[in-house]
Structure 1
């Protein structure tokens, strides 16, 4: 494996490619049922927790069957190890997602345009964030990638939503070709980097310890998810070193300040503060973003300055931790990230998403092991 295989020429080509299988399905649904069928499809995908095959068009049922199988190279033992790592650090993984992976994706000035142009985000900026956290839990929970598992169904729905968004955006006339194809293969590869490599590196910065084998297993799980999401096999990173090289190249190519990325980062911080109790953790999301992303990317996104004294001492003192621990910021961050992650998860569980939308869900076994309370 060569860490230099992610050349600009290769990635430029990937920016012009979508997902032929899902794109053809959505195109046919539009042609056969016109707008009504397409809208019904989106409502099914966005409002229902499960896709019920016998209530859907034949083309859609065929798609669900065709895309439900795992690739031949999927390793059950590695999937189990990836799940075990998530079980151990679930709350911290959510913090890494909220304060590292998601804002990093907003720093990609071209890729973020799709999110910003999607109408449903403009009316409810929290919706995609919650759905993204739900996919993380669905995929990495025990059995999530087993036949019929929540992770497979979640990835299938996301793949169809991507195809529908591509179609609608291209038809809208608002898309700038200089951004590449909407939700193209390079941006999908970047999404895979965010959920795997970026979450793992975020966990390390939060004080979580993992072996190299565990990190590779976690990446393997997300490579399987990438397969279900419609990534071309040639786009999947070979290992963590290859994934790191891809992350570095994407950052060099696309990370820059944009109004859209800054708006979405503000919405992410607002959601974190909205769902955590009282004002105890206000400012914590921004401080942890600074800690995980570093100042350069944080400045691109206009993340508020970190005030570690205020945002560490207050919560730690209230929770009764010894004052001498405050001198070791790394230890304090490790402990506080676990508590903050639990509070985020509890807030998502209690969050009212509307009568037509399913509540955020966490399997009972994980809620018990993470000590997460909620309805």
Structure 2
């Protein structure tokens, strides 16, 4: 596992390939041209647009392949896990992973300086779309859409680093570069091992094999994102150790984190009609994240709603144990997650310039098994094509 000194050095490492592209585009005033072209670059099989500047085309060619060690069988197993439990992954990502991201003061400050304090929809939409594309069938190969997602993400991060550093509002000497490799490792662990742990906290059964396979896909994604291979542990257990020793140890309170969390809670309280159930969202957050993090982020603490969530967790565990033998139990579990994801789609696409696109293969599997989320007018979330 990476040692403390090497992990600290990651604060000052960006993404040389993507950073060089953005520097060239800015110096030649061609950023807007690239934005317009890449908006329509969405699938792995799609030819690289001819009208792109040469420096961008070279970047897309150089970053087109997953790491050589990626095993398609393990990726396929992770896909099956996501078919079964993707809606629960979405639940924990919503209630826990985002708040854990906000508990990192440097990351919250970068988000605030980039997007402002009141845009949780954008951050959640981008993260959800990344995960959806990553967990689609053959995400790294023919028919998938994850490769351009990763490539665009790297360019966006490079643009943020460039403009935030140039703005004079970021102290590189004290804080490292914005969206540094240390931040990238932290985000990878939050969305992988911490999501698995959060699922287990709310009563969702995740086998060790499923946890290893889900983490494996995130490791592959990390390689495609340009994260140094030696910075990401090979096993989920080692990832959990690094998360506790380096990532969670850096959590703490910040004004930006508190405000970002409050806006996220406000967004998800809209899932429930009226004011009667407002406390349930905060109680779910407190169930998924560590109590100290919830306190730092000033997540409301209601004993009554906490007891409701405790009862619900015990019920979830009971239903999980009976899932193989009970069609009713399966229906309750799946629809609970689907309703949350459907609510996410409703809120994220309401007045937003982006939509949450569920890959066609995932939607087909979920629809066949009665798990697909619906929009309020009965229309499903969009699929490619």
Q: Per the shorter chain, which TM-score range?
A: 0.7 to 0.9
Aligned to 2:72: 76
Aligned to 2:364: 365
Aligned to 1:270: 266
Q: 1:50 aligns with which of 13, 17, 42?
A: 42
TM-score computed with the length of structure 1 as normaliser: 0.85
What is the rounded CA distance, in whole Å, between the counterparts of 1:146 and 1:267 in structure 2?
37
Q: After TM superposition, give the deviation of residue 237 of structure 1 in Å.
A: 1.4
User: Does the 8 A contact of 2:204 with 2:316 survive in 1?
Assistant: no
- CA RMSD between the two structures: 2.7
Q: 1:38 aligns with which of 17, 31, 41?
A: 31
Q: After TM superposition, give the deviation of residue 97 of structure 1 in Å.
A: 0.4
Q: 2:62 aligns with which of 59, 63, 66?
A: 66
Q: After TM superposition, give the deviation of residue 134 of structure 1 in Å.
A: 1.3
Distance 1:349 1:328, change over 3 A: closer
Report the more deviating stretch, 178-187 or 138-147: 138-147
Aligned to 2:279: 283
Report the more deviating stretch, 297-306 or 243-252: 243-252
Q: 1:302 aligns with which of 294, 298, 301?
A: 298
Distance 1:277 1:125, change over 3 A: same
Report the more deviating stretch, 76-85 or 134-143: 134-143
User: Does the 8 A contact of 1:6 with 1:249 survive in 2?
Assistant: no
Q: 1:227 aligns with which of 223, 230, 240?
A: 223
Distance 1:367 1:255, change over 3 A: same
Aligned to 1:134: 129
Distance 1:39 1:124, change over 3 A: farther
Aligned to 2:183: 187
Distance 1:327 1:257, change over 3 A: closer
Distance 1:275 1:167, change over 3 A: farther
Q: Which runs of no fewer than 5 residues in structure 2 stay unpaired?
A: 320-331, 380-385
User: Does the 8 A contact of 1:139 with 1:151 survive in 2?
Assistant: yes
What is the rounded CA distance, in whole Å, between the counterparts of 1:277 and 1:143 in structure 2?
38
Aligned to 2:19: 23
User: Does the 8 A contact of 2:23 with 2:162 survive in 1?
Assistant: yes
Aligned to 1:176: 171
Q: After TM superposition, give the deviation of residue 240 of structure 1 in Å.
A: 0.9
Describe the superposition over 1:263-293 as per-residue Cα deviations: whole angstroms up to 9, x where unpaired.
1111221222234555575333211110111
Q: 2:345 aligns with which of 349, 359, 366?
A: 349
Aligned to 2:315: 331
Secondary structure, in 3 states, of the residue corresponding to 2:192? helix
User: Does the 8 A contact of 2:100 with 2:289 survive in 1?
Assistant: yes
User: Does the 8 A contact of 2:265 with 2:281 survive in 1?
Assistant: yes
Distance 1:284 1:309, change over 3 A: closer
Q: After TM superposition, give the deviation of residue 61 of structure 1 in Å.
A: 2.2
Q: Which runs of no fewer than 5 residues in structure 1 stay unpaired?
A: 314-325
Q: 2:100 aligns with which of 99, 104, 107?
A: 104
Q: After TM superposition, give the deviation of residue 238 of structure 1 in Å.
A: 1.2
What is the rounded CA distance, in whole Å, between the counterparts of 1:356 and 1:100 in structure 2?
23
State the aligned residue count.
354
Q: After TM superposition, give the deviation of residue 312 of structure 1 in Å.
A: 3.8
Distance 1:48 1:270, change over 3 A: farther
Report the more deviating stretch, 352-361 or 218-227: 352-361
The 5-angstrom pairing of residues 2-21 of structure 1 reads: 5-21=1-17
What is the rounded CA distance, in whole Å, between the counterparts of 1:57 and 1:148 in structure 2?
26
TM-score computed with the length of structure 2 as normaliser: 0.83
Matching of residue 115 in structure 1 with residue 107 in structure 2: no
Aligned to 1:319: none
Secondary structure, in 3 states, of the residue corresponding to 2:278? coil
